Structure 1
């Protein structure tokens, strides 16, 4: 964890360090503990705590008695002091969430993508939905730090543009960040949905000790987010995790890239639903453009497999085995100690896939003889990409950044020692 500095010029960084430690403490933390953890002087800690209290970012919530000395005052984050909006732009639905400082969702809404005709109309719909969340939560706009957008990749981070998301026609090179910033008046951040999901897992997962993990995001398509040493990895163009064309071995369906066995297609809900219809498991008609109906059919396929339908089980078990091929390569390449699965398409098949993935990967990981690699599902729900987009806003505004030594100004008045 970050340690502070007693130099006056990095005082704002010190505030971020202190706030980060308070936020990460499950049952609160005392000033004495902050001195011990950060390496800052008692006076510096006292001054910073007072400023954080004055800003309303933290609260004094009681006292605890130690073995010696007088009882210590417990400091906790004030969840209602600041908020962030997260938006997930998915080919089937746009999800909106409002997060408090503790990472809890206090308001949410969903808009079917069919309800908006084009990118310009979508931006206006997004802006209205952001206003709706703020009204729903009954908070003032000045307590909202900004808006995060999670989009299918790849993205052009420099321009704040979505490059050409699969299944989103008319979205090539749309500079979404600037358009939404102008429409809402808030700072706007853009990232990939899988990267945003990894952010959410890092920020608010119950397993706060996790420092090295890969997040496998399963939605309309798939992608991967990567965390090492407690930091989200983005790569040179912020497009880490484009794993859809990882090979699942010989055979498999022919991908649009011309090859066979690409994992992104082989485990795609639309492809598996098509397999289910061909096998007679699903009777409903198939329309690959109706993504909401495909999601419903995918849940039906999973329910059939869970109820003992052998044909449905064969389809999903084969998909899980193909997914294990790709995950094995990821785990061996980046040497993580956790592999986390999540996203809208994960929930229906989570129990079935976890068993297959764990048993398949148990003896195939190169690092397995050196350290354990935990394979698990996220507990953050189907809206994890939107939640992660909001976490990116919170992280940008409030987390310690040694390279900058200054907060971004999103929390007004936090300069000083």
Structure 2
């Protein structure tokens, strides 16, 4: 993959401008990063699949205690994303920072074997999410820099599909280990570490430090700094997109709660619980590339909001008293469709308004707002479940998501996802307002 990415300049030019009637091929850098994410997600989802049951049933945590830990697991990375994005932009060290993040997350897996209390588990999960925070924005920056603007949604869709293939395999591996191993949870955590280490190795060997397609910095381009990244919020399109992501994140209940609610509705046994994420992952895998290509054609903002409408239907189905055997298939299919329509599509939309010199920092800025919002939602949902029960909690989440979706529709950036002619990233002067501090 690395050799394919370092061919001669004419081949690179052809990849950047496929010509009329030809569909741009996905860059080898995207495929290499997709492989890294696939392997890493096998490791991560092995743990994610058993973690809710391990904490609630094994350690006896209340829904509020689990909500706190789940909030740490999904939201702590927000505290380091801006720093990771800034360091990656300084000198174009995207691969180095991403490698540090993947490595830190891998080292946290065996620590779960010895963490048996709430504070210790919280510390390990915080360190694991620190690694995720360090790697996510530099990885997405590498994808966007390696991909033409007009096919960026497709590139992110391919990456997310490969990433989700790992999410599909991980719970299945965890399920098999739990059925065969005497000390099932310990075995899951041990195998997870070995797989994560393999993902770091793939990154070091096959991902180039800087994509060939990335343009050289333009004259007068803003220097990478945290102040310059925050200054991107002065751009109307970036500001509105960040606000939409934050608002909708406030009403996005974590995956673990969705699976716990399904288990309660249908009486799913402990051994089969680990298979529930596979339904979400399968739908994500099937829809990521088609919805990414659709977003390139009809507008990324429309597809992004459509994904949240699918999530609203998920909440409504869980809130209803419907107990049909079709319920899990509907919920998991729409849940996967929600991720396929939002995860990579949001990054593809944001990349078109952020200059390459601030790409990692700018993407981290939007990811940070979304992650902090989901952190708050996880804690609030767990508290509501503990105080009033699961039906009141999901009812409140449904009403909040409907309100936030309506507000986000009104605030959506005007033409924020229209590709620049020729697929080029807009020059910094067109993206960062004059006077932005650097």
TM class by shorter-chain length? under 0.3
Which structure dedicates a bigger proportion of its chain to helix? 2
Higher relative contact order (CA 8 A, sep 6+): 2
TM-score, normalising length from structure 1?
0.28
Compute the TM-score of the two structures, normalised by the length of structure 2. 0.27
Structure with greater strand share of residues: 1
